[in-house]
Structure 1
Amino acid sequence: MVMLDVLIIGGGVVGCTTARMLAGYQLKTALLEKASDICEGQSKANTAIVHGGYDAKPGTMKAKYNVMGNGMFQKMCSELDVPLKWNTSLVVAFSEDGIPKLEELKHQGERNGVPNLSVIGREELRKREPNISPAACAALLVETGGIVCPYELTVANAENAAENGVRFYRNAPVTGIQKGEDCWIVQSGAGTFSAKAVVNCAGLYSDEINNMVSEDKIRILPRRGEYYILDKKYADVFHASVFQLPTKMGKGILVTPTVDGTILIGPTAEDLDVRDDTRTTSEGLAKAIRFGSLTWEHIPMRDVITTFSGIRAHCDRDDFVLGEAPDAPMFFNAAGVESPGLTSSPAIGRYLAELIAEKLHAKGNPNYNPIRKGIPKFREMTNEERARAIASNPDYAKVVCRCETVTEAEIREAIRRPVGARTVDGIKRRTRAGMGRCQAGFCTPRTVEILSEELHISPLEVTKFGGNSKLLSGNLFEKGDGAE
C-alpha cells in the first residue's frame, strides 16, 4: 500500500493544477488518472477561452472562481511557459432589440467583479472585426477575455507538479474508496493507496467518486459540444473570440482564433445518456455551421481541417461543487466543473491546496520551484535560433510533422519529460505533431517509430490513445504468416 498525505483523482486541468498548487507544501501527493494519459477528457476538447466572467450568475461558485482565476492566468502561464493571448471577447447582437440584453450582461459582469466592460456600436464593432456579418449591430466588449492552449496548460501543470515531487499514475481507474481509521483507502488500477486527504477532480465521473463516500449525492449530466477547426490561413480573419448573444434558441455558436493560429467554430450543446460518446454527428456539425454563419457569413468549408467533440460535466446543481463534503471529512470535491472551468482552474487549485494544507497543518515547501520551461518549438524559432538548436541537437534538423514543423527533437523530449507522452495522441497534444492540415497523414509512421524506440516496445504495441487503440496489427516482412 502506498502511503500519502493527499491523493488526487483525475488528471484534467483542475486535477493537474491542484497537484501543482499542493506541491508548494511539504506534503506527499500523488495523482491517479484512469486513462492512458493526462488531459484525456474535457480538458483536451473545449473552446480554449479564458472567460472574463460576465456570463455566470452572480453569487455562484462559477462567478467567483471565474473572475478570480482570470486574474491568475497571466502569472501562471508566464511561470509555465504556456502561450496566452489577451485577444478580448465580444458578445454580439444581430438586431437592435438585443442591445438591452447586452446592457444586462454588462451589469451582471460588473456585479461579478469583471473590469473594463463596455457596449460598443456597429461602427466600433466593424472596426475591430471587419469580417463579421453585416447583421451584427452591437456587442459587449470584454477586455479581459483571452485564449490559451488547454492541453499544453494541463501538461505544463503536470510537469511542474512532478518536478516538485508529485507522483502521477496513469491507467489507474479508481475502483473503491473506504474510510479508514484516520485516512482514506483507495483501490485503483495502480494498486491501493492510503491518503489523509482525497481530492475528487474526476470530471465527468466526479459524481461517481463523490457518491462512493457521501450521502450528499450529486449527478453529472454529460453534454456534448461539436466543433470545426479551420486552417491557419484564416488566422487573422477574427481577432476577438466572438460569442453570439444568448436567445431562446440557446447561447449560439462561437467563432474564435486559437493561440496556434487556427479558427474554431462551435460548440453545439446536446445532452447525452452516456459519458463517453465523443462522436461527431451530421446534425450537430450542420447546426454549428448554420449558427456560426450568423457571425461569419461565408465559412470556407473547403478549408476545414478536422472536426471534434467534447463532453462537458454539467452538474444537476448548475454550479461547481467545491470543498469538503459535508459528511466525509478530508474528502474534497472539485465536481461539476464545466465552463468556465478552464478559466477557474488556478483559483480552484489554489483554494483546495490552501484548505487541505491548513487542515493538515502543512508547511510551505522551501524547495518549490514554480518555473517550467516548455519544449523549444522549431516552428517559432528564427533561422539563427534554428541553426543553434541543430548544432546542439541534430534531431532538430529532422522535421517529422511538415504541417506544423515539428521536429524529432521535440517529439523525443515530449516522451522523456516528466509525465511524458506514451501515445500518438500524447505526442500530438505536447508538440502539435499531427494537428495540421493533413491531420497526421504524413507524420504518424515516424511518430510510431520514435515512440517504439523511446519506450522500448514493439511498434505493434504503440497506441493512438491507450487501451486497444493500436495502430498496427502485424509486420508483413516478418518470417512466418505475416500480418494477422
Structure 2
Amino acid sequence: MDTSGGDASPYDVIVVGAGVVGSLIARALSRYALRVLLVDKASDVGEGTTKANTAIVHAGYDAVPGSLKARLNVAGNAMMERVCAELEVDFDRCGTYVVALSDDDLPTLDALYRRGVANGVPDMAIVSAEALRAAEPGVHPSATGALWARTGGIVDPFGLCIAAAEHAVMNGVTVALETAVTGFLWEGGRPGVGRITGVTTTRGTIGARWVVLAAGLWTDDLMRAAGLDGFTITPRKGEYFVLDKEAAASVRTVLFPCPTPVSKGILVTRTIHGNVMLGPNAVDVEAKDDLRTTAVGLDEVLSGALGLVPTLNPRHVIRTFAGLRAAGSTGDFLIDAPREAPGLVVLAGIESPGLTAAPAIAEYVVDLLREAGLPLIPRADYVPHRAAPPRVAQLSHADHAALIAQDPRYGHIVCRCEMVTEGEIMAAMHRPIPARTYDALKRRTRLGAGRCQGGFDLPLVLGIMARELGVSPLELTKRGGASRLVVRGTKEVPT
C-alpha cells in the first residue's frame, strides 16, 4: 500500500481512528505544515461510537472534579459553538435538565450542582417543579425539581465528524479507509526497541514520525501490541429508540434522570434534526462489535423514558439501534505519550462525554505533540472555513428555485420523508470524502432517516449510486464489506 502521497518520506503524524475525536485531531493538525494521514478500518469516517450515541453536548457537571474528563468536557463545550460555525454543522445550545422524580433525588441535584461549580460549569441553577413544568410540560407529574444547565445542548455527531474530516482533507490531510491497523513499526526492528516509526496495516506498512492512537473500542488491543498493558476497555452497550418528528412536542430540551454510577441514565431528548430520541441503557458486553438490540434492553429504555415523559407514544417509534461506548478501566480519559513507546500518543477510554470534549481533546493532543518536539509551523495556505452542501429541506422556496436553476437535479425529490434530492445525493458522492455506501449517504443527507426508513427511496438511490460509481447494483452495500443491498436479480434462480 502506498499512502505516502508520492513521497518516500514518512508521514509526520498518522491518526488511527476516524471517529469524531480522530477526525478533529486530524483537522487540528492540518493547521500546520505537516504530512498527516487519517486511517480507519471502516468504509467511512464515523463508523464506530460516533454513529451511535445520544448526540448531547454535556455541560460538565457529571465528571469527577480534577479529572481529565471534567477539564476537557467543560473546555470542549465552550469550543463547540465556534467549531460548528467554522464547519457549518448544526448545533443548538438548548440547555439540559436533570430531573428529580421524588424528594429522594433532591440531594443528588445538590451534589451535581456542587460538582459543576467545582468543574467551572457556568449558568446552572436548581429549579422548582413549577419552573420545570413551565419549560417542559410533558415531564412526569412526580417531578419535584431539576438541575438546569444552560450550556448543555445537542449536535449532529455524524455531521461534526464528516465535516472535520472533510476540512482536514481540504487542508492537505490524506485519508485511508478500509485500512485496519494491526501493529507498529519499531526503530529497532522489533517491539520495544527504539521509537515507533509507523504502523502495519491490512494494506501494507506506513511510516510516520508519530502515531496518534484514537481507535475507540480497539485502542486497548493496539496498546498491547505496543507493549502497553494495564488499561482495558469494556464495550458498554446502549440501546435507543428514535421517534418520528410528530413526537417533537413531547420535549423541548434534554431531560435526564438522576445518574447512576455507570450511566447518565435513560434520557429523553429532541435531536438536532427534529426527532425525539430515547435511551440509552448501559449493559457491559464481551464483543466489541455487538450492536444487537434486545427485547429486554428496549423494554428497559422505554420504561425509563416513560418515567420521565409519560405522554410519549410508542406508536411514534421509527427506528431502534444500539451503540457501544469504550468504558475504560480507570474511569477517566487516558491521553498520554507513554515513555515505554516513544513516538506514540494514546487516547483510551474516550466514552461520554467524549463527543463534547472532542474539540478540546484535539487541542490537547496538538499540545502533547508540540511538547514532545514535533515542529508545528502554521500553514500560510490554511483554509479556515468548510462550507456545507445545500440542504433543500432547510431552504426557502426562492432559494430552492435558484438552486434548481443552477442544477435541475435539486428539483428531483428522492426521499420524500426528509425532502432529499438527487442533487444532494450527487453532492455527497463528490465531496472531499465521498459517500460510497447507503449509510454514508444517509449520514450526510438524511436520506432514509424519516418515517419510511428508506422504503420509498432505496430503489431510486440504488440506481443513482450504480450510475455514479459505475458498478452493478449487486455490488452496492449498506455500510461496506459484505453488507450487500441486493442479493440477486428478481428473476434469477439461486443455485
Q: TM-score range by the shorter chain?
A: over 0.9
Q: Distance in 1 between matches of 2:264 and 2:32?
A: 41
Which amino acid counterpart does residue 423 of structure 1 have in structure 2?
T
Q: Distance in 1 between matches of 2:375 and 2:198?
A: 21
Conservation of the 8 A alpha-carbon contact between 1:473 and 1:483: no
Q: Which residue of 1 aligns with 2:107?
A: 100
Q: Distance in 1 between matches of 2:262 and 2:34?
A: 49
The equivalences for 1:239-318 within 5 A come to 239-246=252-259, 251-318=264-331
Conservation of the 8 A alpha-carbon contact between 1:70 and 1:343: yes
Range that drifts further, 426-435 or 317-326: 317-326
Q: Which residue of 1 aligns with 2:192?
A: none
Q: Which residue of 2 aligns with 1:86?
A: 93
Unaligned runs of 5+ in 2: 5-9, 189-194
2:236 corresponds to 1:223: yes
- Given candidates 357, 376, 382, the residue that maps to 1:362 is 376
Q: Distance in 1 between matches of 2:391 and 2:111?
A: 43
Conservation of the 8 A alpha-carbon contact between 2:80 and 2:359: yes
Q: Distance in 2 between matches of 1:374 and 1:429?
A: 13
- Given candidates 133, 148, 168, the residue that maps to 1:141 is 148
Q: CA deviation at 1:216?
A: 4.1
- Given candidates 472, 484, 487, the residue that maps to 1:470 is 484
Q: After superposition, give the CA deviation of every residue in 1:331-387 in whole Å (9 maximum; x if it has no partner).
A: 001111000000000000111123224521221111111211111100011110110
Q: CA deviation at 1:483?
A: 6.0
The equivalences for 1:45-60 within 5 A come to 45-60=52-67
2:456 corresponds to 1:442: yes
Q: CA deviation at 1:233?
A: 1.2
Q: Which residue of 2 aligns with 1:209?
A: 222
Conservation of the 8 A alpha-carbon contact between 1:254 and 1:265: yes
Q: Secondary structure at the match of 2:250?
A: coil
Q: Which residue of 2 aligns with 1:113?
A: 120
Q: Which residue of 2 aligns with 1:190?
A: 203
Which amino acid counterpart does residue 175 of structure 1 have in structure 2?
T
Range that drifts further, 449-458 or 125-134: 449-458
2:33 corresponds to 1:33: no
> How many residues were matched structurally?
481
- Given candidates 410, 424, 434, the residue that maps to 1:396 is 410
Q: CA deviation at 1:262?
A: 0.2
Identity %: 43
Conservation of the 8 A alpha-carbon contact between 1:357 and 1:363: no
Q: Distance in 2 between matches of 1:161 and 1:123?
A: 47
Q: What is the TM-score with the length of structure 2 in the denominator?
A: 0.95
Q: After superposition, give the CA deviation of every residue in 1:317-337 in whole Å (9 maximum; x if it has no partner).
A: 111110212311120011110
Q: After superposition, give the CA deviation of every residue in 1:372-412 in whole Å (9 maximum; x if it has no partner).
A: 11111000111101100100010001111110000001011
- Given candidates 5, 8, 13, the residue that maps to 1:6 is 13
Q: Secondary structure at the match of 2:352?
A: coil
Q: Distance in 1 between matches of 2:433 and 2:367?
A: 24
Q: Distance in 2 between matches of 1:250 and 1:176?
A: 32
Conservation of the 8 A alpha-carbon contact between 2:127 and 2:148: yes
Conservation of the 8 A alpha-carbon contact between 2:98 and 2:147: yes
2:68 corresponds to 1:61: yes
Range that drifts further, 116-125 or 366-375: 366-375
The change in CA–CA distance for 1:75 and 1:48 in structure 2 (over 3 A counts) is same
Q: Distance in 1 between matches of 2:37 and 2:145?
A: 49
- Given candidates 336, 351, 361, the residue that maps to 1:323 is 336
Aligned-residue Cα RMSD (Å) equals: 1.5
Q: CA deviation at 1:246?
A: 2.6
Q: After superposition, give the CA deviation of every residue in 1:257-300 in whole Å (9 maximum; x if it has no partner).
A: 00100000000000001111101000000000111111111321
Conservation of the 8 A alpha-carbon contact between 1:51 and 1:343: yes
Q: Which residue of 1 aligns with 2:7?
A: none
Q: Distance in 1 between matches of 2:410 and 2:441?
A: 16
Q: What is the TM-score with the length of structure 1 in the denominator?
A: 0.97
Q: CA deviation at 1:34?
A: 0.4
Which amino acid counterpart does residue 224 of structure 2 have in structure 1?
N
Q: Which residue of 2 aligns with 1:432?
A: 446
Conservation of the 8 A alpha-carbon contact between 1:19 and 1:29: yes
Q: Distance in 2 between matches of 1:316 and 1:454?
A: 46
- Given candidates 249, 264, 267, the residue that maps to 1:236 is 249
Q: Which residue of 2 aligns with 1:350?
A: 363
Q: Secondary structure at the match of 1:259?
A: coil
Q: CA deviation at 1:251?
A: 4.3
Q: Distance in 1 between matches of 2:252 and 2:155?
A: 14
Unaligned runs of 5+ in 1: none
Q: Secondary structure at the match of 2:184?
A: strand
Q: Which residue of 2 aligns with 1:42?
A: 49
Conservation of the 8 A alpha-carbon contact between 1:235 and 1:263: yes
Conservation of the 8 A alpha-carbon contact between 1:214 and 1:325: no
Conservation of the 8 A alpha-carbon contact between 2:262 and 2:282: no
Q: Which residue of 1 aligns with 2:475?
A: 461
Conservation of the 8 A alpha-carbon contact between 2:196 and 2:341: no
Q: Distance in 1 between matches of 2:208 and 2:46?
A: 23
Q: CA deviation at 1:214?
A: 3.2
The change in CA–CA distance for 1:483 and 1:391 in structure 2 (over 3 A counts) is farther
Q: Which residue of 1 aligns with 2:396?
A: 382
Q: Secondary structure at the match of 1:57?
A: coil
Q: CA deviation at 1:190?
A: 3.2
Q: Which residue of 1 aligns with 2:137?
A: 130
Conservation of the 8 A alpha-carbon contact between 2:198 and 2:210: no
Q: Secondary structure at the match of 2:71?
A: helix
Conservation of the 8 A alpha-carbon contact between 1:216 and 1:325: no
Conservation of the 8 A alpha-carbon contact between 1:178 and 1:213: no
Which amino acid counterpart does residue 67 of structure 2 have in structure 1?
T
The change in CA–CA distance for 1:249 and 1:326 in structure 2 (over 3 A counts) is closer
Q: Secondary structure at the match of 1:141?
A: strand
Q: After superposition, give the CA deviation of every residue in 1:64-114 in whole Å (9 maximum; x if it has no partner).
A: 100010010010000000000011000000111221221110000110110
Range that drifts further, 368-377 or 141-150: 368-377
Which amino acid counterpart does residue 152 of structure 2 have in structure 1?
G
